[in-house]
A and B are shown apart, each in its own frame.
Chain A
Amino acid sequence: MVFEPTMRVMKYIPWSYGRTELVFRARGFIYAINPGFSQANFHVEAVHAFTPETLVHLRYFTVPDQLLGLSEERRSGTEQLQDERVTSHLGVIRLDHRLSEHWEVQLFGRAGIRRYNEPYQQRDTLLWTVGPHLIWHMTHHTRMVFGYHYERGLAEGRQQHEFEDDISYVHHFAAVSFETRLMEHLDLELDFHYERNNFTSGIPEDERNGGHENIYQGNGRLFYQLTDQMTLMMTVQRSNRRQNFLQTHDHNTNVSAGIIYRF
Chain B
Amino acid sequence: MRTALLGSLCCLLVACQSVTERHSDFVLDAPALASVRSIYIEDLGHDEGADLVEETDSVREKISTGLAESGRFSVVQDPQQADAVLTGLVGVEPWYHGMEGYYGMEGDLDDHELGVGKLRLVDSKTKRPIWTHKYETGLLKPNQSVAERVADQVVDKLMHDVRQAENGSTQNPRNSPAAVHPQP
Contacts and interface: CB of A to CB of B under 8 A. Distances in A.
Contacts of A147: 104-105
Given A145-B105, A179-B107, A179-B109, A12 B52 contact: yes
A7 interface: yes
Given A110-B104, A145-B105, A228-B115, A30 B6 contact: yes
A164 B50 CA distance: 61
Contacts of B10: 5, 28
Contact of A65 (B1, B19, B97): B1
A263 B9 contact: no
Question: Which of B10, B102, B144 has its CB near the most chain A CB atoms (within 10 A)?
Answer: B102
A191 B101 contact: yes
Contacts of B107: 135, 143, 145, 177, 179
A191 B10 CA distance: 30
Interface string B1-19: 1110110111011001101
Contacts of B102: 175, 177, 191, 193, 217, 219
Interface residues of A, number: 55
A76 interface: no
Contacts of A20: none
B142 interface: yes
B115 to A, nearest CB: 5
A141 B102 CA distance: 19
Contacts of A7: 9, 12-13, 16
Nearest to B19: A263
Interface size bracket, B side: 35 or more
A225 B112 contact: yes
Interface stretch (A182-190, A198-206, A245-253): A182-190
A30 B7 CA distance: 11
Contact of A14 (B16, B51, B104): B51
A39 B9 CA distance: 11
Interface in B121-156: 137-140, 142-146
B12 A223 contact: no
B42 interface: no
B140 to A, nearest CB: 6
Interface string A225-261: 1111101010000000000000000000000000010
A228 B113 contact: yes
B77 to A, nearest CB: 29
Question: Which of B8, B13, B143 has its CB near the most chain A CB atoms (within 10 A)?
Answer: B13
B98 interface: yes
Contacts of A10: 96
A211 interface: no
A253 B43 CA distance: 51
Interface of B: 1-3, 5-6, 8-10, 12-13, 16-17, 19, 51-52, 95-99, 101-102, 104-105, 107, 109-110, 112-115, 137-140, 142-146
14 contacts: A5-B13, A38-B6, A65-B2, A135-B107, A147-B104, A177-B101, A184-B143, A185-B140, A185-B142, A191-B105, A223-B97, A227-B137, A228-B137, A262-B114
